[in-house]
Amino acid sequence: MLDPIPPPPEWLREAVEPWALRFGLPALADHSHEVITIFIAYLLIHYVLSPWLSPKLFPRHYPNLNKRTKLNWDVHVVSLVQSTFINAIALWVIFVDEERKTLTPLERVFGYTGSCALISSLAVGYFIYDLIVSTIYLRMFGIGMFFHAVCALWVFSFGYGPFLNYYAPVFILYELSSPFLNIHWFLDKVNMTGSSLQWYNGMALLIVFFCCRLIWGTWQSVIVYMDMFEALKQTWSPSPSLTLFSPVDITAQVFQPRSDGSLCINEACVKANAQISKYSKYTAGGVPTWLVFTYITSNIILNGLNYYWFSKMIETVMKRFRGPSTSDSQRAPAKGSRNPKEENKENAVEDLAQQALLDAASKLGQEEGSLFLGDDVSNNLSAASGVDPGHVEELRKRKAQA
């Protein structure tokens, strides 16, 4: 599918192209205007829209926040807008882009479609914003958030190579749980911790996190590993007719004939098929081995973090459902009296399940926050991540006494 956004003005393309080619990102010249536009949009949301609109929507809460929490509020507004918007676009591309669905394994590594490059542009524009914010407020957010922005910007820039352009919308869907995590944070800040809305949101957060990051993410990671292995085999196995000093050209092995448009019914289809090999001269030499192993290592680390975070959530839930201590269980009730726990068993189980889920959602905020908030996490976790365990526990106690 072609990029639905018109190409950049020629003057911008000519200004960006030399730098794009120098860094091995030829497709960036055709999408530079998208990166710039989305970057400016997020800056405006952070510094203009959120400080103006938030006091109007939440007059009892936003004006009373301290400076640090207001900054976190504005950052979370950008994150909520970005994660919701880019996930919607990614799902649209996955379901609508017919040319993308026909790509072979090697074309998934070396091919190009304008729609997938659009996803990369939306991600790169956001991570440039993220990098600037994490640099300006380095002492507040910590070095971890800074390096996260650098690594994410680097990885999503691969699509302009093009390298794994096909997988841009695939791995963006890791962030399907981010809107729910941001909502959890906001509910905590507007004194709705422990509410039914936060409980339902927490349920959606855990389900989406498990399905997208663990099931979908692991499955797609295995597929991308196999695709890159096929690409490496092409790079390592040049034609026998080539001499030692002949350059490797794998173009004929990678791209299947599509330019005739025999299966197309309109001009857009013909152009969309032709663009798949648009940058083939830049990928003719194959994929560098170091790049493949760097990507795989990064992916394994990120998947490992997802499993670690989910295990901590499960551990938090299990703590809520563990039985009473041995001394309590051995303490027999007085004769003729009824155990109050038995009287309220159904309500207790329901409250316990609700509290366990809220604890798990908060634990996810803690674990993800601890990765990005550096040394401040121990002292300022509540303000920075939106997790307020004391508030949750207080509400639980009040509910138990009611």
User: CA 78 from chain center: how many Å?
Assistant: 13
Is 44 a domain residue? yes
What is the C-alpha to C-alpha distance for residues 70 and 384, in angstroms, rounded to an integer?
10
Is 348 a domain residue? no
What is the C-alpha to C-alpha distance for residues 205 and 273, in angstroms, rounded to an integer?
38
Q: Please state, in angstroms and as integers, the Cα–Cα distance from residue 92 to each residue in 57, 218, 301, 380, following that order.
A: 30, 21, 28, 38
What is the C-alpha to C-alpha distance for residues 297 and 293, in angstroms, rounded to an integer?
6
* Amino acid 354: pLDDT: 56
> Residue 40 has which token pair?
């400016």
Residues in the chain: 402
What is the DSSP secondary structure assignment for residue 266, as one 8-state letter? Answer: S
> 208 near 177, Cβ under 8 Å?
yes
What angle, 0 to 180 degrees and rounded to 10, lies between the N-to-C axes of helices 345-372 and 178-189? 110
What is the C-alpha to C-alpha distance for residues 106 and 239, in angstroms, rounded to an integer?
17
What is the C-alpha to C-alpha distance for residues 232 and 287, in angstroms, rounded to an integer?
7
Measured in degrees and rounded to the nearest 5, phi and psi for residue 346 equal -65, -45
* Amino acid 205: pLDDT: 86
CB atoms within 10 A of CB 54: 19
* Amino acid 237: pLDDT: 65
Domains in the chain, number: 1
Is 183 a domain residue? yes
Is 323 a domain residue? no
What is the C-alpha to C-alpha distance for residues 14 and 105, in angstroms, rounded to an integer?
33
Q: Which residues of the chain have pLDDT under 50?
A: 241-245, 323-332, 334-338, 348-349, 370-392, 394-396, 398-402
Is 393 a domain residue? no
* Amino acid 296: pLDDT: 86
* Amino acid 8: pLDDT: 94
Task: Residue 296: give the domain boundaries.
Answer: 10-304
Q: Where are any strands of DSSP class E within 180-298?
A: none
Give tens-digit pLDDT for 320-343.
555 444 444 444 454 444 455 555
Is 86 a domain residue? yes
pTM recorded for the entire structure: 0.79
CB atoms within 10 A of CB 196: 9
* Amino acid 353: pLDDT: 53
Is 311 a domain residue? no
Is 91 a domain residue? yes
What angle, 0 to 180 degrees and rounded to 10, lies between the N-to-C axes of helices 377-385 and 345-372? 110
